[in-house]
């Protein structure tokens, strides 16, 4: 009798388990599709980098990303979402915080609102931007915990404004509980601890919503290939024109996600143009900080000389908030500086009068770009002092060698110190090249010319140090010649046009939407200042944004 009873229990448990598995299998949120028509539609694109070979990833199943939170998201009704829309969409952090303070929103509502938008657009193959490649499965419960603290009055204590705000991270930034892939199949199982800046974000109460796609290996793998492409995440697309305009790179997912209002803000990284470019292409505000202002520990590297993370937001005010939320001296990062950087957090609240600004306009851009030219005239009329100048010609010889030799050394150190050898099988660039060649159609459809270039670069340690010194000097001459002579607060550029000079000079650059070309492609005004002038750049940028608000939401992502 006892044996029969045990057998019955086993049968019932097995049936229950099978039923649960069947239910789980029933939740198919996304189906792979044939992207050949889209690929064929771009075969004659005037921009060779947009002649895609594929759109969707060959290795990432979106159901693995979206199923864990489906039950939570499905509880939010369309009516509830619509009610929250005017309170959250395009609103700055202080407005959202006030809604929470007044009881019109909760942190849980806020998280579910963004998740709802992500599910709505990213699971539809006609609107997907291929931006979200990981979600924090615990984020809703984490938001509920903040609400519980709020009810107890704990949240009423002094907080950083980033508290409770959902943030997306570029997928080269180490984050506990989510893989950090750098877009590469070689790192697709890379489980890590939090990077220093993620620790700082969490310490200040930010909610990590998920990870976004990027140009693979921060766009230092293939030559002339599409920006926004990674073998792990597929091809990221621009919300202002899917398959029409480039996303910019390498922080492609950060730019597209912020533009589409998938989160309050996102974090990107830059070596030379990788925050400025996607921010400009997606009409969002991006800041590439001074090297050393933010820690780089726990970020998949290109160059320890030039790399930095930075904030990407819908407005200047949020940019200052996110930047300050990542501050902190990191003894494990040799470039990290010990300073409180007073004035950054409040910079978005204190615009500088135009009458107090002295800005440099580059003559060549005045002669070749009508939107830039009109913007300069607008600034003059507003009261700013504008000095037109021609930067001196300076040599940029050896720039590629900095990237080559640094990445050869820095990636090896990252893998050794930050990854689990049981999960990550490569140990060097040489290993990665061999790994990619083993399945080139899937792993490197656009080749790996830059990786191969890393292996063939014979620059010595002595030569590299000389290159670094010369380039830093030349980069500063490029800007300082006019800045010192005319006592300029900043130099005005377009998009990432002068990102390389700012990179080697280790100068900060802030890019803000300037308008749209006749085609509808976004274009931005970029403010470049001297080291650690972030607070001043943000205050100048806030004045510009307030008086010439140019950002318009992408029309297909407004509901």
Is a pLDDT exceeding 60 seen at residue 11? no
Task: Please tell me the predicted confidence (pLDDT) of residue 7.
Answer: 43
> What is the pLDDT averaged over residues 415-435?
98
Identify whether 170 is a catalytic site residue: yes
Q: pLDDT tens digits for 255-292?
A: 999 999 999 999 999 999 999 999 999 999 999 999 99
Supply the DSSP string of 346-368, one letter for each residue: TGGG-PPPGGG-EEEEEHHHHHH
Q: Where are the alpha helices (DSSP H) in 204-265?
A: 216-219, 252-259
> pTM of the predicted model, to two decimals?
0.95
Q: Tell me the β-bridge partners of 96.
A: none
Is a pLDDT exceeding 80 seen at residue 317? yes
Identify whether 251 is a catalytic site residue: no
- Outline where DSSP puts E strands in 129-203: 132-135, 166-170
> What is the pLDDT averaged over residues 386-392?
98
Identify whether 517 is a catalytic site residue: no
Q: What are the CA-CA distances from residue 104 to residues 28, 83, 489 (Å)? A: 33, 10, 41
Q: pLDDT tens digits for 193-206?
A: 999 999 999 999 99
Is a pLDDT exceeding 90 seen at residue 398? yes
> What is the pLDDT averaged over residues 233-244?
98
Whether 442 contacts 231, CB under 8 Å: yes
Split at pLDDT 50, 70, 90, the class of 2 is: very low
Q: pLDDT tens digits for 134-181?
A: 999 999 999 999 999 988 887 656 799 999 999 999 999 999 999 999
Task: Please tell me the predicted confidence (pLDDT) of residue 6.
Answer: 41
DSSP secondary structure letter of residue 172: T
For the ranges 41-50, 334-343, 397-406, 413-422, the lowest mean pLDDT is seen at: 334-343
Q: Coil, strand or helix: which one is 485? A: helix
Split at pLDDT 50, 70, 90, the class of 24 is: very low
Task: Please tell me the predicted confidence (pLDDT) of residue 96.
Answer: 98
Catalytic residue among 57, 195, 215, 250: 250
Catalytic residue among 274, 277, 279, 533: 274
Catalytic residue among 170, 418, 468, 506: 170
Residue 139 burial (C-beta neighbours within 10 Å; 0-12, 13-18, 19+): buried
Whether 529 contacts 289, CB under 8 Å: no
Task: Please tell me the predicted confidence (pLDDT) of residue 341.
Answer: 86
């Amino acid at each position: 009798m006892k044996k029969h009873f045990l057998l019955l229990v086993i049968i019932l448990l097995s049936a229950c388990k099978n039923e649960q598995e069947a239910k789980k299998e029933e939740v198919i949120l996304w189906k792979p599709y044939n992207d050949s028509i889209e690929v064929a539609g771009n075969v004659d694109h005037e921009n060779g980098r947009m002649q895609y070979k594929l759109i969707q990833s060959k290795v990432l199943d979106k159901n693995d990303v979206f199923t864990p939170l489906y039950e939570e998201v499905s509880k939010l009704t369309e009516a509830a979402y619509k009610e929250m829309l005017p309170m959250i969409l395009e609103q700055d952090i202080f407005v959202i915080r006030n809604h929470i303070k007044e009881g019109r929103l909760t942190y849980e509502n806020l998280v579910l609102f963004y998740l709802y938008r992500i599910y709505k657009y990213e699971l539809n193959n006609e609107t997907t931007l291929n931006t979200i490649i990981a979600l924090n499965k615990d984020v809703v419960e984490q938001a509920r915990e903040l609400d519980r603290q709020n009810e107890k009055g704990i949240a009423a204590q002094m907080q950083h404004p980033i508290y409770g705000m959902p943030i997306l991270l570029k997928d080269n930034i180490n984050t506990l509980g989510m893989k950090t892939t750098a877009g590469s199949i070689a790192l697709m199982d890379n489980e890590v601890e939090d990077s220093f800046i993620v620790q700082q974000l969490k310490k200040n109460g930010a909610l990590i919503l998920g990870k976004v796609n990027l140009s693979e290996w921060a766009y230092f793998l293939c030559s002339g290939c599409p920006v926004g492409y990674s073998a792990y995440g597929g091809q990221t697309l621009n919300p202002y024109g899917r398959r029409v305009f480039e996303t910019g790179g390498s922080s492609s997912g950060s730019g597209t996600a912020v533009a589409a209002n998938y989160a309050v803000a996102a974090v990107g990284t830059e070596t030379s143009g990788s925050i400025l470019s996607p921010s400009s292409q997606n009409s969002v505000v991006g800041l590439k900080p001074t090297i050393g202002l933010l820690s780089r520990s726990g970020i998949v590297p290109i160059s320890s000389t030039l790399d930095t993370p930075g904030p990407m937001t819908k407005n200047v005010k949020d940019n200052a908030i996110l930047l300050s939320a990542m501050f902190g001296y990191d003894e494990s990062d040799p470039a990290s500086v010990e300073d409180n950087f007073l004035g950054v957090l409040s910079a978005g609240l204190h615009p500088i009068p135009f009458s107090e600004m002295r800005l440099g306009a580059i003559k060549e851009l005045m002669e070749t770009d009508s939107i830039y030219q009109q913007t300069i005239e607008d600034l003059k009329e507003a009261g700013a002092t504008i000095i037109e100048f021609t930067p001196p010609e300076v040599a940029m010889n050896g720039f590629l060698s900095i990237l080559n030799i640094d990445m050869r050394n820095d990636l090896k150190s990252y893998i050794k110190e930050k990854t689990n050898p049981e999960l990550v099988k490569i140990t060097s660039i040489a290993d990665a090249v061999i790994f990619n060649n083993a399945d080139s159609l899937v792993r490197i459809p656009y080749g790996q010319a830059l990786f191969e270039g890393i292996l063939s670069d014979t620059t010595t340690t002595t030569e590299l140090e000389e290159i670094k010194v010369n380039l830093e000097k030349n980069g500063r001459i490029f800007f300082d010649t006019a800045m010192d002579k005319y006592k300029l607060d900043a130099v005005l550029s377009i998009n990432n046009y002068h990102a390389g000079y700012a990179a080697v000079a280790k100068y900060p650059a802030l890019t803000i939407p300037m308008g749209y070309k006749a085609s509808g492609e976004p274009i931005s005004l970029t403010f470049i200042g001297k080291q650690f002038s972030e607070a001043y750049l943000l205050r100048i940028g806030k004045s510009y944004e307030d008086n010439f608000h140019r950002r318009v939401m992408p029309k297909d992502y407004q509901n």
